Amino acid sequence: MEAIEQEIIALREQLHQHNYRYYIEDAPTISDYDFDHLLKKLETLEQENPQYADPNSPTQRVGGQVTKNFLNKPHRYPMYSLDNSYSKEELYQWEKRLKKIVGLDTAVQYTCELKFDGASINLRYQNGLLIQGLTRGDGQQGDEITANLKTISSIPIQLKGDYPETFEIRGEIVMPIAGFEALNKKRIEAGEPPYMNPRNTASGSLKLQDSRQVAKRPLLCFLYALAGEDLGIATQAEALESARSWGFDVPDSARLVDSIEGVFEYIAYWEKARADLPYEIDGIVIKVNRLDLQEQLGFTAKAPRWAISYKFKAEQVFTTLESVSYQVGRTGAITPVANLEPVLLSGTTVKRASLHNEDQILKLDLRIGDRVFVEKGGEIIPKIVGIDENFRGPLEDKVVFIHHCPDCNSLLEKQEGEAQHYCTNSNQCPTQIIGKIQHFISRKAMDIEGLGGETVALLYQNGLIENCADLYTLQFDQLLPLERMAEKSITNLLEGVEASKTKPFEKVLFALGIRYVGETVAKKLAEAFGSIDQLAAASIDQLVAVDEIGERIAQSVNDFFKQPYNIKLVSRLQDYGLKLVAQKRTTSHFLPLQNLRIVVSGVFKDFSREELKSTVAHFGGTLVSSVSSKTDLIIAGEGMGPSKLQKATDLGIPIINEVQFKERIS
């Protein structure tokens, strides 16, 4: 190795260590001047010797890469959101549920962590080097922002200690309050409008195209969760300590408690102490400490069962109700919206708040001119929570829910048991039509590149489309005269439409927008019936027989396929080549688990939980989350919950262990 290469490597290692001491240990051993001198020396050597360039060099902290378009990439391990709680009673209920699932009647250990109010990210490391950083996105996929994340000094680009060969770690990007205020001071002095709050500013900073601008932002990254295979870690507390030893900024505010009462003590402390923090938090995250219990508890479609957030009481402000307007959703649901005198709430200016439905209006006894109390539900969506009885609007200005659709003037209907009114003119109401097509092209549905919501509205307003099937009839010459439609954008749109024909059946089914049929339900229906024709012919009883499909969903699906308009729409989509038949399982091997609904419970010696689930699916089985009369088989590992075992025994469901499972599929 040449002397110059050795000098460059030594300088990099030295600077990595100083970065760690400064940002993680908060115990710098050299002055800022000396650090900058070493960094400048390294930068000069790298410029003079480009053959020794390294994307993980400390000089990359200053940025320099410009990203015009951030690539969307899938998460190897989904980033779930958390269920929220707002009281001790809700936390008691959560603990009761999880104990029932795993069959415990003793105290459970929990880790309690601050819920930072920022932007979630996922980092991937290989051989100790940062190789990828993604935003949370929709939890299944996010935007790659690796170059921008490397500019944040509290994110190590080279690890230390005994770290796994490959793993991922989740964290939250936050902007300290002092840094946010200093940033706004500069903007005001420059005649620019100030940013509204630290959270939005942190999130927006991650998507700046020039990484040099990101480097100038006072951003921090706090890490809180590991993801990967065979990491050799048994608890969440151990995961936090390990991550800290590898060089990550893991706040020492996390605590391991021995019971739910310890959780309440932690919450009580931070409800007061959060005011003294240099950054914003909006609650506490509580996690089951043992990872094997986490694995047994698993996930719902949206959130882990083994974790929950406790949200602090939302900030409340008062303002005046100026008017009420009504929105039409893609399913025809009518949502009343309160238009308010603008007011600052939790760092953002609030002008509107959801009133949900007629019942909410009647409960509040709203009048135009009322002084109303507004808060952010779950710190996100503004809502009216009360009225100041001393400042009421005139009685004659009482808010009365509308009887006709604000868009197409059709008479509204409210079905028994439903809270919302609906416009039933679903095939001619312009807002519903546009909304349905926008849902059809959305990322989680057909994900048609080159086609956005505004373009859908433009195509409809120009008479080129009236439903999603019309997208597949669009021609270049039709689009060219439209405003904002250049040749390149038209080509991208048409290519995106054509490419969508390869989307699997469950995506198409979800894209149809059948009421109550979300992503998870669409996948279950596609697996159960195999084709749109068989699904359309299914009876209510056949639909309800599918795991997790209830009467309401079954009735909605049945009603959808009774309507001539929908039958014709589906027929057109079939004619245009969309996949309305599920991909057949391979028949190169026998399927000993075919048509069996299987519950997996416990910890296994030769399989990770994900490997076992994949194997079950490979051999034809359908995984279900809970034991019921519809369950055909249980694969039980160590630590299967007694309640599950008892229920399975009572129902006479066969139970096999790991050895028997391997024999069955061999």
Residue 202, token pair as written in the block: 């942190």
If you compute the radius of gyration of the chain from its CA atoms, what whole number of angstroms results? 28
- Rounded CA gap, 573 and 586, in Å? 26
Are 229 and 295 contacting, i.e. CB atoms less than 8 angstroms apart?
no
H-helix or E-strand containing 168? strand 166-174
Amino acid at the residue 575: D
Q: Is 365 left (phi over 0), alpha (psi -120 to 50) or beta?
A: left
- Rounded CA gap, 531 and 540, in Å? 17
Cβ neighbourhood burial of 223 (10 Å; 0-12, 13-18, 19+): buried
Are 311 and 88 contacting, i.e. CB atoms less than 8 angstroms apart?
no
Q: Is 345 helix (H, G, I), strand (E, B) or coil?
A: strand
What torsion, rounded to 10 degrees, do the Cα atoms 279, 280, 286, 291 define?
Answer: -50
Backbone angles phi, psi at 210, to 5 degrees: -100, 115
- Rounded CA gap, 36 and 615, in Å? 54
- Rounded CA gap, 569 and 470, in Å? 9
Q: Strand (E) positions, 197-313?
A: 220-227, 255-257, 281-288, 307-311
Q: What angle do CA 513, 515, 517 make, to 5 degrees?
A: 75
Hey, which residues are catalytic here? 115
Residues in Cβ contact with 332 at an 8 Å cutoff, skipping those fewer than 6 apart: 422, 423, 424, 425, 426, 429, 432
Instruction: Give the residue ranges of DSSP H helices in 274-377.
Output: 291-297, 358-364
Q: Strand (E) positions, 467-540?
A: none
